[in-house]
Structure formats: C-alpha cells, structure tokens
Structure 1
C-alpha cells in the first residue's frame, strides 16, 4: 500500500471516529450549525449561529433526531451549551490543545441537518497566546486553522491527527476560521452547568475612551496617553457607592492601566473579583484620587 493511500485511509478513519460525536443543531437557521457531544448529555455549539434557544433538536448519524434544552450561553466566547437526554451518542475525545503547533494537520468536522458527516482538512496556521473577543470574552489561546469553514461547520470540532478534539470552530473576520480552544470551552461549560449563566463583574458606569493632555500625563506620571471617562453612574451601583462621579477619568483598575473600555471589560469578564475590593485610580480636577470599589455581579442572562 502506498504512503499516500495509507494516509488517506488513516484520515478517513479519524473522521469516522471523531465524527461520531458531531451533531447538527436545528435552530431555525437556513443552514444548521454543528455541535459537539462534549460530555455525557452535554452538547456544545456556536452561540452566534443560533437564532433561538427553544424548540431545538439535534440530528445524529442516520438522520436520527433528538430534542435538546438550553443550559446556558455566553456570547462573549461564542459558546452555547445544551442538554440532551436518553440518547446513545459517543462523547468527544478531548485532547490537549497545548500540543498544537503551527504546521500540524487538522480536520474541521460538521454534520448536515440530513445527518451526513462532512470534513475539511488543513494545517494550523497560527497559534499564540490568550486574546479577547470583540464581545469581551477571554479566550485562552489564539488558534487559526487554515481550513475552509463551509456552511454548517461553525460549532463543529477541530480535530488533530490523533482524532482528539482540540477546540470548537467559529467564524472570524471575513469568514476566516477561528477555533475556541478546549480549555476555554471546558471553563464555560463548567460555569454554565453549575449556574446556568456566566458571572461577570459589574461597575455600574457608562464609559468612553478619552485622550489625556500631555501636560497632565507628565504631571501625574502616567504611562498611558488615554483613559476612560465616566459618562454615566448608576444610582446605588458599585461605582456610585464607592464615590465615583461623572467626569472622573479611570486610569487604573486593580493595578492595571486602563486605556480604553476594552481594558475595563477584560477585568470584569470573570467571577474571581466579584464581591472583592478593586483599587481604582481616577483623575478628578487634575489630581489622582484613589477609590475602593466592591465589584457587583452581572450574569450573561442580563447582556
């Protein structure tokens, strides 16, 4: 048997094995996104691909269907989690995303609403550190596979050459493929299964970026040329209770520089600081004022 034929047969076997845990998610869209049987009774898919969260079914192999119910979703990481019961379906073999290297062969898998398994092959083109999505979600690794994300492939798995699922595929800018790594998916699944929503820190302010005059930056020994001005303060909210005023310019939160609203969202996007004091520096009347804000909690249900 030639090496090329052996590789082809091996890839087909990998697709068949890994694809047994891939489903189609029927949610009223023209093209059904795919989903992954992540854990026993837990289906993961792309949140942005859904038009609704009720009356949803999944299509398995052989065109079998089953109803699912929403556990929770997190738009900031593009992850929606559903529960399925009384269905015999193989669970995905979750791999270690840290083993991925640029150049590794990978497969994007999907299932059509008719139950057909589909695959696209490519290589890992980019692997880098943590990043923040446009919706403020913290993603543990930036992974860009060089695969074509055909219709219905969003929400499906990225599979390595050993047949391990290393993430969930989603669309980036201009339709390019991005992969949410398994570590991020696991973290979101854990929170949604436990609480039904993603807890996020809450300040209770409206903000917009503002450029700092050079003389003020020099006088206050600030490293950033921009800050975030408070344009609205919610009565009795965390910031209001701490004494934040309209016109204050936030320059540090919890010791980190604040140069735009994204910096604030990154700090709030998580539950580790909820209920804790966050030391805050603001510019008020040309001088630095230090405030202690006890962060409140806002769930993704309120987004």
Structure 2
C-alpha cells in the first residue's frame, strides 16, 4: 500500500533497514529499500523512488453491512479485486505478533493466497485498511488505516520496532510497603545473566511498579509497556525495594 511520497507499507515476516526488496507496482517491478520493520505487527515500511501512483485518502470507519473492495497483486496473476461486505467492526485486540490495537475489521470474503498485505477500499475509493495474515484461511482480518499510519510514523525513524526484552521472571503481588503511586507490582523472581535487566541492575526480590511511567500491576501490563519500542533506545523502569524505597533505572532496549 502506497502510504506517502515514494513510500510503501506491506506485510513481511522479517526485514532489516537498508535491505533491498523488489516491489511490484503499476509500471512493473522496481527496487525498494527497507526503512524499518515492526515485529509486533508484521508491517514493513519501504522507500521506493519513482514507484508512481498516489496514496489514497483515508476513509472513516465502516459500518457493518457496508460494501468494500479488496485490491491485490498476487504474483504472477497480476492485479485482482474482490467485492465483499463488512461483517464485523471489532474493538481492542492483540495481533499475533503482540501489538495491541484499538480496532479491526472483518469482511465476509475468505482470505485467499496473495491477499495478505492488500488494500481494503470503500466503494468510493477511500482506504479502509490493510489485510493482515490470519491463522485461519476462512477469516479476513483488516488493520484500520489509522493504525497503519501510526506504525509507519514510528518506522520512519529508520529503526526496527517490536517487543522489548527485559530478561526477568515476575509474579504479580501486593507491595509490602505501598507507595503513593502503586499498591501492586511485579515481584522479580529471576533475572537472566547478560540480560538488559541484569546490566541495568535489577535484582531478585525487587518489584517492578512502572515502565516508562505506566503502572505494571500485571504481567500483561508489563508486556504492553514493551510493545512498539525501537532498538537502541532506553526505557525507564521503576523498581521498589522491600523497604518501599523506589528508584528508576534506565534499561537499554533489546528486541525479541
């Protein structure tokens, strides 16, 4: 999907910034360069000089029962289009790679080979979203265009993004000495040797109470706080000691 001037966003299993990949467009195959890859969603942003075409306007969220068109280019078949109906407008869910999204769409059109990464359009030609891979062939799962744009904005940094790795085992507990900001947290029960947590000074017996200022009362909350990070950055991890004292440690981000 063309998302900006000389920019394409597509589905990938893995990609590295600077990697060269062929891109099939209206004028044939051209060379593209990976700008960044998001392991948590499976989206890759490519820079493709002279790709031609233009980005289409984004549509407002569809309603159940509206018609939509899926446009794809499954090589070697050439361009294809399929008419379908929006059968579901869902709320918050998690992608297989771990990224939490606000909404998703499904159509009544079963997923066909070559259609992952294709564009779902409204009948007036506005972009609704990008068709994502699913575990079941009979499902069609669409990531809304506003979520695609947010991920593309992150990828323009030129770094891969994904799920950060701390290297700790934790369990949710009530803090022995609650603070003004937290009454619960995650007890560190294990720290892997050589891990980012070990290098930053986290130890068994401490409590993780927040990551980047976001409270972590559960393992799920910790996971969510580590999604969408870029390699090379650092994150602030707030840890409480058994006596209730709290300090913030800068932990270098390593992606899974």
Taking structure 1 as the reference length, the TM-score comes to 0.66
Aligned pair partner of 1:259 in 196, 215, 218: 218
Distance 1:237 1:132, change over 3 A: same
Say yes or no: does 1:59 pair with 2:24.
yes
Check the 8 A contact 2:191/2:197 in 1, yes or no: no
Give the Cα–Cα distance (whole angstroms) in 2 for the partners of residues 161 and 228 of structure 1.
52
Check the 8 A contact 2:234/2:253 in 1, yes or no: no
Say yes or no: does 1:231 pair with 2:193.
no
Give the Cα–Cα distance (whole angstroms) in 2 for the partners of residues 111 and 250 of structure 1.
47
Task: Note the 1:139-158 alignment, pairs <5 A.
Answer: 139-158=101-120
How far 1:84 sits from its partner (Å)?
A: 1.3
After superposition, the C-alpha distances for 1:40-79 in whole angstroms (9 at most, x for unaligned) are: 21111112388xx9553122347x2212121111110110
Distance 1:162 1:228, change over 3 A: farther
Distance 1:169 1:275, change over 3 A: same
Give the Cα–Cα distance (whole angstroms) in 1 for the partners of residues 14 and 157 of structure 2.
24
Aligned partner of 2:90 in structure 1 is 128
Give the Cα–Cα distance (whole angstroms) in 1 for the partners of residues 195 and 113 of structure 2.
47
Aligned partner of 1:294 in structure 2 is 249
Give the Cα–Cα distance (whole angstroms) in 1 for the partners of residues 31 and 203 of structure 2.
50
Give the Cα–Cα distance (whole angstroms) in 2 for the partners of residues 116 and 199 of structure 1.
32
Distance 1:154 1:276, change over 3 A: closer
Distance 1:277 1:270, change over 3 A: same
Higher helix share: 1
Check the 8 A contact 1:94/1:182 in 2, yes or no: no
Aligned pair partner of 2:157 in 191, 194, 204: 194
Aligned partner of 1:81 in structure 2 is 45
How far 1:296 sits from its partner (Å)?
A: 3.3
Say yes or no: does 1:182 pair with 2:141.
no
Distance 1:233 1:128, change over 3 A: same
Give the Cα–Cα distance (whole angstroms) in 1 for the partners of residues 169 and 66 of structure 2.
43
Q: What RMSD over aligned residues (CA atoms) do the two structures have, in Å?
A: 3.7
Aligned pair partner of 2:202 in 244, 261, 275: 244
Unaligned 5+ runs, structure 1: 1-35
Aligned length: 248
Aligned partner of 2:227 in structure 1 is 269
Give the Cα–Cα distance (whole angstroms) in 1 for the partners of residues 245 and 152 of structure 2.
37
Give the Cα–Cα distance (whole angstroms) in 2 for the partners of residues 76 and 38 of structure 1.
19
Structure with greater Cα Rg: 1
How far 1:250 sits from its partner (Å)?
A: 4.2
Unaligned 5+ runs, structure 2: none
Taking structure 2 as the reference length, the TM-score comes to 0.77
Give the Cα–Cα distance (whole angstroms) in 2 for the partners of residues 256 and 235 of structure 1.
25
